[in-house]
Amino acid sequence: MDTPTLLKELAPTVEDNLNRHLGVAQEWMPHEYVPWTEGRNFAHLDGEPWSVEQSTLSPIARTALEVNLLTEDNLPSYHREVERAFGRESAWGEWVNRWTAEEGRHAFCIRDYLLVTRGVDPDELERARMETMQTGYDSGDKPLLNVCAYVSFQELATRVSHRNTGKFTDEPIAEKLLTRVAKDENLHMIFYRNIVQAALELAPSQTMRAITDEVVDFKMPGSIIPGFGRKAVQMAMAGIYDLRIHHDEVLRPVLRQLRPFDREGLTPEGEQARDELAAFLTDLDGAASRFVEKREASRARAAARA
Ligand SMILES: [Fe+2]
Ligand SMILES: [Fe+2]
């Protein structure tokens, strides 16, 4: 099915889900999650320059908050990608703007929190933000169904990353803030997943192929931020986001709702895509178990040395 037909056929589902979303999304105020009285001037306004001992966050919490914030900072790029795929017409266009407006809050409130509490090095953060946004995010003109499948997994991945980062801050205000942001991401995931579900009814084999490609090629939206590889390893070692979490808490829950393995009437191409998906998930599950075993062994060695 070509893109104009998909856009037209899926428009009623988008409209229903936009209305459902507007009914369940609760208004919240980003400024209410920032302890403003802790704030003070930096060096340029005759205040105190930032130094690491001012931060009450652990090094891993600082890394994870920075990765999550820089990921959110790149919203103009994501907006461009989603708008290119969905267009500006009908409920599709309305959703693009609503979703962008909600996403906008995420970077504002995390940045405000970190600057006021001196949680991370603000100069380093600003340089990394410049670099990230200048690199931009480019999905390579993904087709509509691929964009819908990707964002279903990505929104849940972001939710889990925010929520687990919140736990690692060991700081009640940060945890509350990140839990609030994570709730938004969950509603976004539900919206996109429902579109994919409708697409599976409409064009089963084509949608199956899109799901498989996006699961197999999945990369975090923040993978372009400076030093992402090293930071992602640190976050995996800490258990904030690792292969086990990706398989058990992101891929499987979305697929459990989409039920690709119960679907009948696929074409041979659709069957082929589904077999690839099943084989990939089996391999990933094995790799996740090996990673967890290695991590446990390295933690045990570190404990023995201490
Ligand atoms: Fe977000
Ligand atoms: Fe989101």
Report how far ligand 2's centroid is from the alpha carbon of 7 (Å): 21
Report how far ligand 1's centroid is from the alpha carbon of 99 (Å): 9
The pocket of ion ligand 1, defined by CB under 5 A, consists of: 72, 103, 106
Q: How confident is the model at residue 306 (pLDDT cuts 50, 70, 90)?
A: confident
CA–chain centroid gap for 258, Å, is 19
Give phi and psi for 48, each to the nearest 5: -105, 130
SS3 content of the chain, % helix, strand, coil (to 5): 80, 0, 20
Is this model's pTM higher than 0.75 or not?
yes
Gap between the Cα atoms of 248 and 197, Å rounded = 20
Q: pLDDT tens digits, residue range 157-198?
A: 999 999 999 999 999 999 999 999 999 999 999 999 999 999
Gap between the Cα atoms of 181 and 86, Å rounded = 24
Q: pLDDT tens digits, residue range 236-282?
A: 999 999 999 999 999 999 999 999 999 999 999 999 999 999 999 99
Gap between the Cα atoms of 15 and 277, Å rounded = 30
**What residue type is assigned to position 30 of the chain?**
P
CA–chain centroid gap for 82, Å, is 14
Indicate which ligand has the atom closest to the C-alpha of 104.
1
